[in-house]
Structure 1
Amino acid sequence: MSALDEAQPLHPCCRDKTTVSGNSSDFGEVAKQPLQGLKLASHAALERAQRSGRLKCSKCGGSRMFFCYTCCSLVGVSIQEVPLIKLPVKIDIIKHPNETDGKSTAIHAKILAPGDVTIYTYPCIPEFEKDTVVLVFPGPGAVSVQDMLRCLRDRGGSGSHASPAEPKAKRRKSQPVHGATHGAEDPESGTPDEAPSSESRHHPLERVVFIDSTWNQTNKISTDERLQGLLQVELKTRKTCFWRRQKGKPDTYLATIEAIYYFFKDFQQLCLSQEYDGEYDNLLFFYSFLHSVVNKAKMSAGKC
């Protein structure tokens, strides 16, 4: 288990009592670095970019740090310094049009796994195969990740499916966000050892849908008729470490990148019955660094 799992019980500082001694200084140290157990690529490039300050995006001219959330491109960081992740299942993220780009963590997934992640701005939603796609969103009818594949097989009436055609986006004014700068736009890209094994392909799941929005704005998207009929999956035991906690919402309501990370970690362990060894920890590459920066700022200001 990563330290992120171990740190979940106490939100928002995400501290784990079982790892803290009676020394108050030890307790404060754990609070500073709740994500320290993840297997991450080096943050040296991000630290250097932070010292350099904000730069202009070469595409749109916007003032950005680390990446441009408008263009899905890196800023002040080279392609080679950012991890590239190959996911076992494709992701579609449906973004609310009023969601502030700079506050969304969905862009992290697009930059880190460009060949497997597509972002649409609502009301643009692709057409889905109901028996091979799930919507990760809490609700009374939602099932756990552990029960997800069984439910999909029950729906399809068979344990195997032919690969469906890629979903076709309805052409609206809002267009999908295009790829990040570090190539790998080919859905089948990645080194041989990154490709899913033949055994892992023997399941009905082909695509996972996430909603990127403030929780107060999700209803319009989650109730859209084009998402009705999709099996809903809820990450019921996970708790957020997001620094922008939304007032009045439970701590099981995750930031988008947290939900993506936990889904694939649970998918590997509970659905594919494979030991997890940090394969998707780098989904939190930007998130963990920003979490550390924000927490340090809060502690300096005496707010944490």
Structure 2
Amino acid sequence: MSSLDQDQRLHPCCRDKITVSSDSLDARELAKQPLQGLKLASHAVLEKAQQRGRLKCSKCGGSRMFFCYTCCSLVGVSVQEIPLIKLPVKIDIIKHPNETDGKSTAIHAKLLAPSDVTIYTYPCIPEYDKDKVVLVFPSPRAVSVQNMMQHLHNATDSRSYDRTYEPCLKRLKREEVQEATHTAENPESGTPDETEGSESKVYPLQRVVFIDSTWNQTNKISTDERLQDLVQVELKMRKTCFWRHQKGKPESYLATIEAIYYFLKDFHEHCLAQEYNGEYDNLLFFYSYLHSVVNKAKSSAGKC
């Protein structure tokens, strides 16, 4: 368990109140710093860029700090100075056209994992292989990350049965002879379909879809017929640290970069069955720094 998970358990808005003890002050201090303890690259480059101030984006001319959220490019920081992350699955982000670019954290994922993250603006949605893609979105039919793979297997097996059962009956006698001859000549080999099927059952997930919008705008995208048949996954028992918390929404409604981070962390532990050692912490490289900047500004203004 990372320090981020531990700290969130001490969040002052959790249902379980912190027991008053000699450690209660320390607990409150931890709650104010929920992103401490992550394995992050040095923020020195961002500190220097902040001291220089805003610069013009070379593409659009907009005044930006660290990166241009319009052009999806770095500003005042080079690609060699930030961490680049390789993800175990591809990430697609479907962005609502009315989502304010400057308020979205989706850009963080694209800059830090450029080869594995693609951002689409709704109504542009690619055609998905429903057996290998999931949608991360809370809904009554959503499953946990722990149960996601089994649901993918079940859905794949069900669709395969529906597609192949009747044709198999008709081809059975002819193929029995051909396959028996092939097996006799190559006893250790399998058909391409068998090999591919074996691999897909071990690792069927290839792409994960996230929706980037305010929570009041998500319904239009989440109910789009092109996403309806995807297995939906919910990240339960997580609390947002986003400084732009939406009024009236529960703390379990995460910022996009938080949702991506938590999904990959759970996927690493529960689906890949590997101990998590901070492999994706740098997805929060920009987010954690901006979080600290905002908190310092609030403290200076007496709002914390």
Partner of 2:73: 73
Q: CA deviation at 1:68?
A: 0.5
SS at match of 1:7: helix
Per mean C-alpha deviation after superposition, the further-off stretch among 286-295 and 22-31 is 22-31
In structure 1, what is the Cα distance between the partners aligned to 2:131 and 2:81? 38
In structure 1, what is the Cα distance between the partners aligned to 2:297 and 2:56? 24
In structure 1, what is the Cα distance between the partners aligned to 2:125 and 2:66? 29
Partner of 2:132: 132
143 and 23 in structure 1: CA distance in 2 versus 1, 3 angstrom threshold: closer
Is 1:58 aligned with 2:62? no
Alignment of 1:159-174 (within 5 A): none
Partner of 2:33: 33
In structure 2, what is the Cα distance between the partners aligned to 1:296 and 1:28? 16
Partner of 1:196: none
Is 1:102 aligned with 2:128? no
In structure 2, what is the Cα distance between the partners aligned to 1:295 and 1:129? 42
In structure 2, what is the Cα distance between the partners aligned to 1:93 and 1:48? 30
SS at match of 1:157: helix
One-letter amino acid matched to 2:102: G
One-letter amino acid matched to 2:91: I
44 and 19 in structure 1: CA distance in 2 versus 1, 3 angstrom threshold: farther
21 and 86 in structure 1: CA distance in 2 versus 1, 3 angstrom threshold: farther
In structure 1, what is the Cα distance between the partners aligned to 2:131 and 2:24? 52
Is 1:250 aligned with 2:255? no
Alignment of 1:82-231 (within 5 A): 82-157=82-157, 202-231=202-231
The answer to whether the 8 A contact 2:87-2:116 is kept is yes
In structure 1, what is the Cα distance between the partners aligned to 2:156 and 2:71? 38
Partner of 1:232: 232
Alignment of 1:2-41 (within 5 A): 2-11=2-11, 22=22, 26=26, 29-41=29-41
Partner of 1:301: 301
Q: CA deviation at 1:238?
A: 1.1
Question: For each residue in 1:207-266, what CA deviation from the matched residue of structure 2 results, as whole angstroms up to 9, or x when unmatched?
Answer: 000000000000100011111100000001111111111111111110000000000000
Partner of 2:177: none
75 and 13 in structure 1: CA distance in 2 versus 1, 3 angstrom threshold: farther
Q: CA deviation at 1:136?
A: 0.1
80 and 217 in structure 1: CA distance in 2 versus 1, 3 angstrom threshold: same
66 and 229 in structure 1: CA distance in 2 versus 1, 3 angstrom threshold: same
In structure 2, what is the Cα distance between the partners aligned to 1:120 and 1:297? 33
The answer to whether the 8 A contact 1:94-1:209 is kept is yes
Q: CA deviation at 1:26?
A: 3.9
Question: For each residue in 1:165-194, what CA deviation from the matched residue of structure 2 results, as whole angstroms up to 9, or x when unmatched?
Answer: xxxxxxxxxxxxxxxxxxxxxxxxxxxxxx
TM-score, length-scaled by structure 1: 0.81
In structure 2, what is the Cα distance between the partners aligned to 1:65 and 1:150? 43
Q: Kindly report the root-mean-square deviation, in angstroms, between the aligned alpha carbons of the 2 structures.
A: 2.4
One-letter amino acid matched to 1:88: P
In structure 1, what is the Cα distance between the partners aligned to 2:41 and 2:20? 26
**Number of equivalences:** 264
Identity across aligned pairs (percent)?
81
In structure 2, what is the Cα distance between the partners aligned to 1:303 and 1:244? 14
One-letter amino acid matched to 2:121: T
Higher helix share: 2
TM-score, length-scaled by structure 2: 0.81
In structure 2, what is the Cα distance between the partners aligned to 1:34 and 1:67? 24
SS at match of 2:147: helix
The answer to whether the 8 A contact 2:7-2:31 is kept is no
One-letter amino acid matched to 1:139: S
In structure 1, what is the Cα distance between the partners aligned to 2:107 and 2:147? 29
In structure 1, what is the Cα distance between the partners aligned to 2:265 and 2:303? 32
200 and 280 in structure 1: CA distance in 2 versus 1, 3 angstrom threshold: farther
**Unpaired segments ≥5 residues, structure 1:** 161-198
In structure 2, what is the Cα distance between the partners aligned to 1:209 and 1:290? 25
**Unpaired segments ≥5 residues, structure 2:** 161-198
